[in-house]
Structure 1
C-alpha cells in the first residue's frame, strides 16, 4: 500500500482474513524504486508498481525458494513529469533520500513519513480484530 493513495478506500471485495502481511511504502522509497527499475531493468512503471516490486524483492530475499508474484498496476508514462523528472523530485522536501533496504516491522498500525517503509504481520485477522488488538495494546502502554 502506497501511503496517501486511496488508503481510506476499503473495496467491498477485500477479505482481510486472507492477508498475511501489510506493507506501507512511503512515496520516497517508491519513487527511488521506480527509477531503479527503469535504470537497471528498463521497466518503466509508476510508484505503486515500484512499491510492489520493492516489497516483492525483499520478500524473495527473505524466503529463498518461494514463488513470488506481484501486480504492477501503473505505468511510468503517467509520471514522466513527476517521478521521472529530476527537477520535480529536487523540489520535494526530504529528497534525495536513501531508501530503506528493508521494512521496519510494526506491532500496531502507526503513521509513517514519506521516507518510511513499514510492515505489519496481519496474520489473516479481520479488520475488527486488528482494530481491537491495537486498542488493547494502546491501552496497556499508557
Structure 2
C-alpha cells in the first residue's frame, strides 16, 4: 500500500511541475531574457529579433573574441520611432558602452581583449536587427 501512495504522490508532483511549466510558457517567458540565458552570436553575424513587453523587455547575447579588436555592435530598429537601449558588458558585468536608438539605430563600439562580452538589447515593443563586427 505504501508503494501505491508514493506513486500517486509522484504523479501529483509531476503534474504540478508540468502545470507550472505550462503556466510559464503561457505567460510568454523569454528564452534569452536574462544574462544567464544569453544566446551566442559570432563576430561578423547578424541576428533579427523583437521585444514584446511586458514579458519580453530585454534580450541578451554573448560574443566570444579571440584577439584584441575594436568590437562594434549595432541595431536597426523597426519602427524607427521605437526607443531601444543597447549595452555592452564585460564578462564580470562591467558596463563598457551604452547607446540609445535615435532615428532607428544605435551603435556601441569598444576596444576589447580576448574574452567573452555580453550585449543587452532592451526597451519597448520593436523589431530589430543586430550586427556584430
TM-score (norm 2): 0.22
If each structure's helix is expressed as a fraction of its own residues, which one has the higher value? 1
TM-score (norm 1): 0.21
